[in-house]
Structure formats: structure tokens, C-alpha cells
Amino acid sequence: MACAAASCAILTFCAILRPLQLDEVLQLIGTRTRHLTAVFDWLRYSPGSVPGGYVMQWACMRVAGFSNFIARLPSIDAWLLTLFAILRIGTRIGIRGVGVPALIAALTPMLFRYSIEGRPYLPAFCLIAFATLLLLEFADARDGRPALWRLCLYGYC
């Protein structure tokens, strides 16, 4: 927990100080609008966009206002959830100590870069990590038939 708190402090510091890049600015053009319908209208002008990432950022902007940190807050939150999923995956595949998966997650450059970026890359990676965790649970199911709610959750991820 102390390692996760220290990592969050570092991510927050980097997210605040790092200037916005062009792709982040383009996303913010669509998410700084007053109404959610305008966000979906903006998606037509931003090919390849993921509506979920825009909606998450729009909601954060509506609740907390605009800043570099708020624009990047969904990615920082997704990093914490991804760390939890990676720790659970490590446990499921038989890694005894929690330090190894936590160290892998903390030192992977892609995860660090995407966790301080105001784009939906890390939230998408978080969904992939949870889908992997669900898939491991499906493989370990004793009767071979997973619960319907888990199948629906896997389909969502």
C-alpha cells in the first residue's frame, strides 16, 4: 500500500507538471463542452475515438473543473485498478510474493506514460487486465460453466 501511495504521488506530480500534448488537447476540445450530446457530436470529428474515454473525462471536468490533473485523473485511477488486477493475476498464476507483480507494473514504461496521459489508453488496458483475470477464473471453474454475470462482465471488458 505504501508503494502504491508513493507511486500515486509521483504520478500526480508528473500529471500536474507535464504540459498537454496535441492528442490530449484535441480530446479536451470535445470534453470541455457543457452537454454530453456535444461530446458525442465531437466524436464524429475525431476518428478512432473511444466514447467511454471521452465520457469519463467529460464527467470529471463537470464535477471538478478543468486542469491538467483533472484531465489525467481517469488514467491515474485506472492505474490503481490495473495494479490491483495485475496483483490478482500474479496470485492466480502462482507468484507467491506480491512484490514481483507490483514491481513489474511500477517499472513498465508504457504503464507509467499512459497513466499520466489524458487519453483513454490506460483505462482500456485496465479493462484488458480485468478481462484476463476473469478468463483465468473461467479456466479454473470446477463445473466448466461460469456464472452468467461473469460472462456479461467479461463481454463488457
Helix, strand, coil share (%) of the chain residues, nearest 5:
75, 0, 25
The pLDDT assigned to 142 comes to 73
Residue 110: name the closest of 137, 128, 92, 98 by CA: 128
Residues of the chain where predicted confidence (pLDDT) is lower than 50:
none
Give, as one character, the DSSP assignment of residue 120: T
The pLDDT assigned to 126 comes to 92
The pLDDT assigned to 132 comes to 92
* pTM reported for the whole predicted model: 0.83
DSSP reduced 3-state for 26: helix
